[in-house]
Amino acid sequence: MSYSLFLSHNASDAEVVREIKRRCEAAGVVIYCYEDDPRAGTSIVAKLTEEIRRADGLIAVLTKHGATRPAIQQEIGVAVGLGKPVYALVEDGVEAATLTLLQGIEYIHLDLARIGDALVALQQSITYRRDRQRTEALLAIVAVLAIIGLIYLATKDPVKP
């Protein structure tokens, strides 16, 4: 079962985005980036909404350049509305007022001079969530199998001695 994330970012943060993609993909996480998926003639809103819906969560890169970008805020809103986890990397100095939809959600501090620290924290957060999701899925399967077993036992003809 693969784990996939939608990467919301500003084009000016290409270096940070490349490093996030490299590390996540090395860890087996599938990353979706808008610029890697050209579909001429397709509704951008429909495409992005569908990709966020398909993803297991969203990484939001909120640098001083991107934090106020409307598209990032809208993509976060779609993810939050769908109940998807948002892994927010927030650059030091970004105003808290720009984190409207992330109020009350833990985020990762991003110091561009020490990006490795933020990416380690991101990998830990993704691993925790992915492992929890897998455990919940396995428990759901076990519960369904137990119910099927109980139904089988309840409907089985009693064995006559």
Domain ranges for the chain: 3-155
What rounded mean pLDDT belongs to the chain?
84
Note whether 17 and 7 are within 8 A (CB): yes
Residue 98: pLDDT band (50, 70, 90) is confident
Q: CA angle, 95 as apex, 92 and 97 as ends, to 5°?
A: 145
DSSP 67-136: TT-HHHHHHHHHHHHTT--EEEEEETT--GGGGGGGTT---EEE-GGGHHHHHHHHHHHHHHHHHHHHHH
Could you identify the residue written with the tokens 């951008």?
44
- For the CA atoms of 25, 87, 15, 2, what is the dihedral angle to 10 degrees? 10
pLDDT digits (tens, 9 = 90+) for 112-151: 888 888 888 888 888 877 777 666 656 667 777 777 777 7
Could you identify the residue written with the tokens 């808290």?
96
pLDDT over 70 at 43, yes or no: yes
Q: What is the pLDDT of residue 4?
A: 92
Mean pLDDT over 74-99 rounds to 89
Pick the CATH number of 3-155 from 3.30.565.10, 3.90.850.10, 3.40.50.450, 1.10.645.10: 3.40.50.450
Q: What φ, ψ does residue 106 adopt, rounded to 5°?
A: -65, 140
pLDDT over 80 at 97, yes or no: no
Q: What is the pLDDT of residue 39?
A: 87
Note whether 126 and 5 are within 8 A (CB): yes
Q: What is the pLDDT of residue 144?
A: 73
Q: What is the pLDDT of residue 159?
A: 67
Crossing angle of the two packed helices 44-54 and 70-81, in degrees rounded to 10: 50
Token readout for 101 is: 């939809």
Note whether 135 and 152 are within 8 A (CB): no
